[in-house]
Amino acid sequence: MGISLAAIACFGAVVGLQMPRLQTIRATGDTITPAQIKQDLAAEEVRLQLWRRIPSFGFDNLLADWVFLQFAQYFGDDPARDQNGFGLSPKYFEIIVDRDPKFLGAYVPLATSISLYAAQPEKSIALMNQGLKSMTPQTPPRSYFVWRLKAIDQLLFLGDGVGAKNSFLTSAAWANTYPDQESKTLAAASQQTAQFLAQNPKSKNAQVMAWTMVLGNVPDERTKKIAMQRLESLGAKLVTNPDGSMSVLNPPTD
């Protein structure tokens, strides 16, 4: 009981530190100034340093969940991000991956915010490598997805076709350990992308497939718009189907 009470007190302190920020946001609304945004960013850095050092008393996953919620608020604050960028994104995920490396749902926003918006793909890949050390093909379920995300970062942001090919092959191997059709389909897609890269490490078709994966897995419209623009720049054709879904046709030449 003592440990549990200590943990509750610990997280209560974290929530308490966060409340002034929430009250400021409510009070200022849309009138927040650049100076206030900069001040809030500095305060958030201090909070991140605290969260990184704070003991969790065995509740690491709870702390990771809390930090992820704070990241969602940070990422979704469009006015602040337009002015100050996404430089804190890696700091959130350093804590999350350290505390709960099997938190599968964190890896898509990790890769998107760090590689695409903070322009630090090396950091994104390093964090995914750290997480993958704690994973097996079955733990957590569908962990093959992290290998796909790593491959996408390697291909699209580092131009590392060979490394991306190997990551796609590992993703396919892990996905093939599952009997369901979705996993088999994803395994086949990863295998096909690896084949494109084996033939041509700069393959446009492989890049199109990677951006299509981004388009199909990110929830925010800002990232989807970027993915669509990149697909069109590669010569892919975007077709809206009668049911509202979108099909992506590969460019005529690779």
Best CA proximity match to 115, nearest among 164, 183, 162:
164
Q: What is the pLDDT of residue 17?
A: 42
Cα Dmax for the chain: 66
Torsion sign, CA atoms 139, 223, 157, 203: positive
Q: What is the pLDDT of residue 26?
A: 38
Q: What is the pLDDT of residues 190-202, one digit of tens each?
A: 999 999 999 999 8
Q: Find out whether 167 and 129 touch, Cβ atoms under 8 Å.
A: no
Q: What is the pLDDT of residue 70?
A: 93
pTM of the model: 0.80
- How far is 217 from 235, CA to CA, in rounded Å? 21
- How far is 117 from 223, CA to CA, in rounded Å? 9
- How far is 182 from 82, CA to CA, in rounded Å? 37
- Low pLDDT (below 50) residues in the chain: 1-29
Quick count: other Cβ atoms within 10 Å of Cβ 105? 11
Q: What is the pLDDT of residue 245?
A: 79
